[in-house]
Every structure is written in structure tokens, then in C-alpha cells.
């Protein structure tokens, strides 16, 4: 299977994600540059964390309009699994693959710490190896992670079981609506999440709760 990591100017988690993907697939992923107008056919595409284009205008807004994103959107519509982590989640909302928006944290501070998460839906492409309702620990590191959508959209996400991850009660670091840490599209193949699974994907990093995000999707696609 072919996996790719999209690299924007300002991405800073691309190589960490590549390590996780290589561990899961046995081969190094394709690293695709933001200016590339062509992307070989991929089964799995990851938009990594960072500060694409310096967060100019709005987080993810410039990346969402970059040449490579047209390819990512086209392949997503054709069935590729797509994971957006942190800034990658912001890009997915800005390009319209996922609804809502990530606003500035309610407390106005950049938050960098472990969070307790609940697997709200273990039927997405990336959460299939977790138990429904399982509690895991994965760190966040963001200034704009406050998920917001209008009430109709939030209800739709609930009704369609598209809230993939929530912050555990009392551990919402950013004021996100419904404690949302990650959501999916209707198919469950496209997931955006603020926490960084690649930062807790092996014992040497303090835990490996994030690892199954990558091994799960690879298992599903293989």
C-alpha cells in the first residue's frame, strides 16, 4: 500500500508521522511537497501538524488552497483514507473535507500537554483497533484547537456518529464544542484530530496509545 505525508512550508510533525507510517507499513511513505501539482495514487494520506504557511490569514487556509491539496481532495473523493493531525485537521476543515472550524483556544494560551481522550467512535478507519469508549492518553500542542460548528452541524455530527474522539470530562484544553477532539466524514475514512498520536506512538515517547491510529488504518487497507 502507498502512504504519503504532505509537507507544507512550516510543517513540523511530518517526519514524526513518517516514522509511524514506516513502522506500520514496513516502507517509508512518500513525502509530497505542497507545491506539487501531482500526487501518485495513494491509499493513505496524512496531513501533519505544524504551522503551514506560518498560519497566515487563518490556520490551514493557505494550505487548503495549495496545489497539492487539489490532489488530496480528489483522491479523498476517490476513496483514499486521510488523517489530518492538528494543523492537518485545520487544513481539512478549511478545504471543506470536514465541517466546522478550529478557533483560537478559549484560554488564549498555546496548550502543550497530555490529554485524556475517549474513543467516541471506533468504527472510523483510524480508530478501529481501539475499544468503544476506551480512554487513552495523547498529547495536544496547539493555539487554535477550539472546535466550533453551528448547532445544526453539531447535531448532524452526533446523529451520524461522526465524533471520533472527545476530551475526557474535565480535560477539554481549548473550549471545543461537545469536547470534540476529532471528527470524521460520513464514510469514516477521513479523520481530523487535534491531539498528536505520532507523539505517543512508542514506549520511548512515554506511551504508545497513538500507535493504533496508524496500525489500524494500515490493517484495514491491507
Partner 1 sequence: MKATIHITLKNGVLDPQGKAIENALGSLGFGGVDEVRQGKLIEVRLDETDADKARATLTDMCEKLLANTVIENYDIHLSEA
Do 173 and 145 meet the contact criterion of CB atoms below 8 Å apart?
yes
Check if 196 is active-site: yes
Say whether residue 144 binds partner 1 (CB under 8 A). no
Q: Kindly tell me which residue out of 1, 30, 31, 61 binds partner 1, with binding defined by CB under 8 A.
A: 61
Q: Which is nearer to partner 1, 182 or 210 (CB)?
A: 182
Q: Which is nearer to partner 1, 30 or 61 (CB)?
A: 61
Say whether residue 155 binds partner 1 (CB under 8 A). no
Report the alpha-carbon distance of residue 199 to residue 206 in Å, rounded. 9
To which H or E segment does residue 84 belong?
strand 81-85
Check if 198 is active-site: yes
Report the alpha-carbon distance of residue 195 to residue 84 in Å, rounded. 10
End-to-end CA distance of the chain: 7
Q: Which stretch binds partner 1 (CB under 8 A): 3-11, 68-76, 146-154, 188-196?
A: 146-154
Set 13, 20, 86, 177: catalytic member: 86
Q: Alpha carbon 20 to chain centroid distance? A: 14
Report the alpha-carbon distance of residue 122 to residue 132 in Å, rounded. 5
Strands 44-47 and 3-7, sheet pairing:
parallel
**Rounded to the nearest 5 degrees, what angle is found at the Cα of 63, between the Cα atoms of 59 and 66?**
160
Q: Kindly tell me which residue out of 25, 87, 105, 124 binds partner 1, with binding defined by CB under 8 A.
A: 105
Do 49 and 88 meet the contact criterion of CB atoms below 8 Å apart?
yes
Q: Which stretch binds partner 1 (CB under 8 A): 26-34, 134-142, 147-155, 190-198?
A: 147-155
Do 2 and 43 meet the contact criterion of CB atoms below 8 Å apart?
yes
Q: Kindly tell me which residue out of 28, 41, 57, 67 binds partner 1, with binding defined by CB under 8 A.
A: 57
Set 71, 94, 144, 198: catalytic member: 198
Applying the rule CB under 8 A, the residues between 168 and 207 that interact with partner 1 are 175
Say whether residue 108 binds partner 1 (CB under 8 A). yes
- For 215, the 3-state DSSP assignment is helix
Q: Kindly tell me which residue out of 2, 12, 65, 114 binds partner 1, with binding defined by CB under 8 A.
A: 65
Say whether residue 91 binds partner 1 (CB under 8 A). no
| Sites of contact with partner 1 (CB under 8 A) | 57-58, 61, 65, 93-94, 99-101, 103-108, 148-150, 175
Q: Which residues are known catalytic residues?
A: 86, 196, 198
Amino acid at each position: 500500500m502507498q502512504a504519503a505525508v504532505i509537507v507544507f512550508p512550516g510543517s513540523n510533525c511530518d517526519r514524526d508521522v513518517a516514522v509511524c507510517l514506516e513502522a506500520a507499513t514496513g516502507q517509508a511513505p512518500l513525502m509530497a511537497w505542497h507545491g506539487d501539482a501531482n500526487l501518485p495514487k495513494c491509499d493513505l494520506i496524512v496531513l501533519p501538524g505544524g504551522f503551514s504557511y506560518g498560519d497566515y490569514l487563518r490556520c490551514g487556509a493557505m494550505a487548503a488552497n495549495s496545489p497539492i491539496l487539489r490532489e488530496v481532495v480528489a483522491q479523498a473523493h476517490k476513496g483514499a483514507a486521510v488523517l489530518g493531525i492538528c494543523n492537518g485537521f485545520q487544513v481539512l476543515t478549511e478545504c471543506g473535507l470536514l465541517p466546522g472550524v478550529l478557533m483560537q483556544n478559549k484560554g488564549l494560551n498555546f496548550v502543550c500537554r497530555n490529554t485524556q481522550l475517549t474513543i467516541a467512535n471506533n468504527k472510523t478507519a483510524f480508530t478501529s483497533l481501539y475499544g468503544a469508549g476506551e480512554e487513552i492518553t495523547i498529547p495536544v500542542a496547539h493555539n487554535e484547537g477550539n472546535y466550533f460548528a453551528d448547532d445544526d452541524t453539531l447535531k448532524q455530527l452526533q446523529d451520524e456518529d461522526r465524533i471520533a474522539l472527545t476530551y475526557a470530562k474535565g480535560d477539554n484544553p481549548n473550549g471545543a464544542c461537545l469536547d470534540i477532539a476529532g471528527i470524521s466524514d460520513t464514510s469514516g475514512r477521513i479523520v481530523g484530530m487535534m491531539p498528536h498520536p505520532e507523539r505517543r506512538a512508542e514506549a520511548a515517547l512515554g506511551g504508545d496509545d497513538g500507535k493504533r491510529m496508524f496500525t489500524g488504518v494500515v490493517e484495514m487497507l491491507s
